[in-house]
Amino acid sequence: MQPKYTAEQWDRISPAMRNLAVGTVAMARAVLVDGKRPSEIAKEMGESRQLVNAAIKRVRDVLDKHQEAGLVPVMVWLPPELAAQVHEMAKPYMEAKPAQKKAGIDV
């Protein structure tokens, strides 16, 4: 199976998946980054193919919602005082479901 994301891209978008179970993210990563087949992951993890496919769908849904909202992940090392400012600016966007946009207007 052809990977959809590089490891670097996955690391950049992983903050969007912070509300998902670790196992869900691990299964999706194995398929979407490592290029493994869902049936292979199911066998390795002792899970059903349906569960692996559901994990991939959950991850894709989260990523799609963030992309539709026009959000991009940012990871940068900052001094504590600047990091606090960035966290304050990010608070409106740190909800489980990002705000939707219609014609450039937040809904």
Q: What's the CATH number where 21 sits?
A: 1.10.10
What mean pLDDT is predicted for residues 2-24? 89
Query: How many independent structural domains does the chain possess?
Result: 1
Smallest Cα–Cα separation from 28: which of 70, 96, 5, 12? 5
Query: Please, what is the average pLDDT of the chain?
Result: 85
75 lies in some domain? yes
pLDDT tier for residue 91 given thresholds of 50, 70 and 90:
confident
Rounded-to-integer distance, Cα 67 and Cα 71, Å: 6
99 lies in some domain? yes
Residue-number span of the structural domain to which 77 is assigned: 7-106
What mean pLDDT is predicted for residues 22-50? 96
2 lies in some domain? no
24 lies in some domain? yes
Q: Which two tokens stand for residue 7?
A: 């490891």
65 lies in some domain? yes
85 lies in some domain? yes
